Structure 1
Amino acid sequence: MKKLKIGVIGCGSIARQRHLPEYAAHSQAEITSVCDIVLERSREVAEQYGAVPFTRYEDLLASDVDAVSVCTPNYLHAPVTLAALNAGKHVLCEKPMATTKDDALSMMEAAEKNGKKLMIAHNQRFVRSHVKAKQLLEKGEIGRIYSFRTTFGHAGPENWSIDGGDSWFFHKHEASFGALGDLGVHKADLIRFLLGEEVVEVAAFVETLAKSHATVDDNAVCILKTESGIVGSLAASWSYVSEEDNTTMIYGEKAILRLEDDPNHALVVQYHNGEVVKYALGNIQSNAADGQTQSHVVDAFVRCIVNDTPPPVSGREGLRALHIILAALESNEKKRVIRLDYSS
């Protein structure tokens, strides 16, 4: 079978740790071109993967690639994705998919108009513990869900970004969001995925506490309410100075699901009758040097192109997660609960 020709736009840490090695390992994909505004980075990655280097994404899109990964700073997600879709390329875009609702909608419209796949790289949906928890929830084993608690925090992007302490992550004009958009958006998508319903109300406190040089937030705590009345908390932080916390708890009438809370068991189910079931499902993906695991995002993206099926994390799904983050920021600014409007 003919391999998909892949271009990767942006040669920073997320491309090097996730997209590039996963495409390289895929039997149906071939990295043919890479792009970064820093010529040395583009050349280095191109040499590693046997690709053609570019410094302008427009030039890469003029080549014969079939699909691209957009691994740029947040403010470029929309313009690069729009250019790629309009050039007839399928797109896997890093999260958050855009910095505004209007940009996200434009991306979705371009994908539909051009008949191309648009997938957003929300990798938490593919974590084995999360997939198993989703199955248990859908089977009704947990009964009615009352509440949840989900957290994603680490010491900050300076510890793994290719630019270190001067990373674009800290600059509002390039990132738009801080920890909330970097980490919180993952958990916003995960809660929607696990519970199978929309978040309709958001209240939040969003602060910059640990990164004095940042012009974006580094800590956020949100209270979310879903359409059926489930209430829970979402926390995102760049100030967890020891171990990363990437845990989620689901509290139901029959059991509690503890996801990524036990170092040896990715999912622990504590039933109301005292029974405890532990699942050893492998580690969640991590930015730690010794924690590299497949995110399965590239697998899903390639599969939807080859099989001509809908992307498992569509533009619509990416927009719904973005809605929650934007509502949290609005809540913090206006100091009130925000009701989400999904009419757009």
Structure 2
Amino acid sequence: MAKIRVAVIGCGSIAEKRHIPEYAANPDVELVAFVDVVNQRAEQYADQYGAKAYTSYEEMLSVEKPDAVSVCLPNILHAPVSIAAANAGAHVLVEKPMATNEADSLAMIEAAKANNVYLMVGHNQRLMPPHVKAKEILETGKMGKVLTFRTSFGHPGPENWSIDGRNSWFFRKEEAIMGAMGDLGVHKSDLIRWLLEDEVVEVAAFVGTLHKEGTDVDDNSTCLLRMKSGAIGTLVASWTYYKGQDNSTVLWCENGCLQLGTHPDDQVIVLMTDGSVEKHQVGAMATNEKQVSSEIINEFVYCIKTSTPPRISGEEGLRSLNVILAAFESQASKTIVAVKEV
């Protein structure tokens, strides 16, 4: 089979650290184009990989006609660029959050269907080894029902990660629309839905800007979630964990407790009510400082190569986004909000 011709749209940090090197490492991929409004960034990768550089994604789509694209752009651009790529006949891998509202998300899903291409959302938490192991353990049934949980994602903020530092689009509300919740919270709403094979039905949330100066995007949120099964738990997203970053989840079940990402070496710890303890060293989760393969690119390429619809589909991306949108609505209305079904 011929190699899959891929274009990367947006050459910031997520492209630099994850998308580009993971495509380059995949033997089934040929990187053909890079797009960035800062031409120098696109040129740098084009030179490195023998590809073409563009400042316009419209021009790139019409000239190159790639088989697939990664959309690594500010949140507000996810929908229009993904739709344009689908209309040009390209499979789309879009960074999270897939869009900034439900209508745009539905339009993206529709565009992919109309053009018979795949739409996949970059929810890499599902593919990280500790979470894959935890899912396996839950599926054995030995833990019994999940009764309560907490899931948390916090780091010092995008100024330490983004290619533009404190001048990053992450802090400009007109481009980002949402802050820590769109960056980190949506990862956790996706993870908890997937781990529990359950949907969030109600959200009560505090969402606000506590410490980042000169921006009105949220830098912290604490949410209370009720699942369809009746399980209740908390979801926390923060850009002010200046020390003690966190990407952990704890599930309290009928027969014990499952701890994920709470220990540096034992990434999955199972504490059973009968006193037995299991510790699993399955590999670390990717962090901004320590990159390990996210597996998202390999999954996307596999789907295209084998004509397998993505597990992390547009519909799944929207279900996870709707939890975050409900949290913002809860903060605004100071009420418990029902999550929209997809």
TM-score, normalised with respect to structure 1: 0.98
Counterparts of residues 184-333 of structure 1 (less than 5 Å): 184-288=185-289, 291-333=290-332
* CA RMSD between the two structures: 0.8
Task: Tell me, yes or no, if the aligned pair for 1:150 and 1:248 is still in contact at 8 Å.
Answer: yes
Counterparts of residues 131-150 of structure 1 (less than 5 Å): 131-150=132-151
Task: Tell me, yes or no, if the aligned pair for 1:126 and 1:296 is still in contact at 8 Å.
Answer: yes
For residues 146 and 311 of structure 2, what CA distance do their matches in structure 1 show? 24
Task: Tell me, yes or no, if the aligned pair for 2:65 and 2:90 is still in contact at 8 Å.
Answer: no
Deviations 1:37-74, CA, capped at 9 Å, x for gaps: 01111111212222110000001111131100000000
Question: By how many angstroms is 1:187 displaced?
Answer: 0.2
Question: By how many angstroms is 1:135 displaced?
Answer: 1.3
Counterparts of residues 93-108 of structure 1 (less than 5 Å): 93-108=94-109
For residues 110 and 140 of structure 2, what CA distance do their matches in structure 1 show? 35
| 1:331 partner amino acid | S
Task: Tell me, yes or no, if the aligned pair for 1:300 and 1:312 is still in contact at 8 Å.
Answer: no
| 1:292 partner amino acid | Q
- 1:36 aligned onto 2:36: yes
1:339 paired residue number: 338
For residues 206 and 325 of structure 2, what CA distance do their matches in structure 1 show? 13
Question: By how many angstroms is 1:147 displaced?
Answer: 0.5
- SS at 1:302's partner residue? helix
Counterparts of residues 101-120 of structure 1 (less than 5 Å): 101-120=102-121
For residues 324 and 103 of structure 1, what CA distance do their matches in structure 2 show? 16
For residues 166 and 215 of structure 1, what CA distance do their matches in structure 2 show? 14
For residues 4 and 245 of structure 2, what CA distance do their matches in structure 1 show? 35
2:60 paired residue number: 60
TM-score, normalised with respect to structure 2: 0.99
Deviations 1:257-282, CA, capped at 9 Å, x for gaps: 10011100110111111111000011
For residues 50 and 24 of structure 1, what CA distance do their matches in structure 2 show? 11
| 2:114 partner amino acid | K
Question: Which aligned segments of 4 or more residues in structure 1 are displaced greater than 4 angstroms?
Answer: none
2:87 paired residue number: 86
- 1:46 aligned onto 2:49: no
Q: Which runs of 5+ in 1 are unaligned?
A: none
- SS at 1:147's partner residue? strand
Counterparts of residues 174-193 of structure 1 (less than 5 Å): 174-193=175-194
- 1:20 aligned onto 2:23: no
Deviations 1:239-266, CA, capped at 9 Å, x for gaps: 0001320000010011111001110011
Deviations 1:293-324, CA, capped at 9 Å, x for gaps: 00000000000001001102000000000000
Q: State the identity %.
A: 52
**How many residues of Structure 1 are paired with residues of Structure 2 in the alignment?**
341
For residues 331 and 64 of structure 1, what CA distance do their matches in structure 2 show? 43
For residues 280 and 339 of structure 1, what CA distance do their matches in structure 2 show? 38
Question: By how many angstroms is 1:30 displaced?
Answer: 1.1
For residues 179 and 165 of structure 1, what CA distance do their matches in structure 2 show? 14
- SS at 2:247's partner residue? coil
For residues 221 and 250 of structure 1, what CA distance do their matches in structure 2 show? 17
For residues 141 and 210 of structure 1, what CA distance do their matches in structure 2 show? 43
For residues 45 and 175 of structure 1, what CA distance do their matches in structure 2 show? 25
Task: Tell me, yes or no, if the aligned pair for 2:151 and 2:249 is still in contact at 8 Å.
Answer: yes
For residues 35 and 217 of structure 2, what CA distance do their matches in structure 1 show? 27
For residues 324 and 160 of structure 1, what CA distance do their matches in structure 2 show? 25
| 1:303 partner amino acid | Y
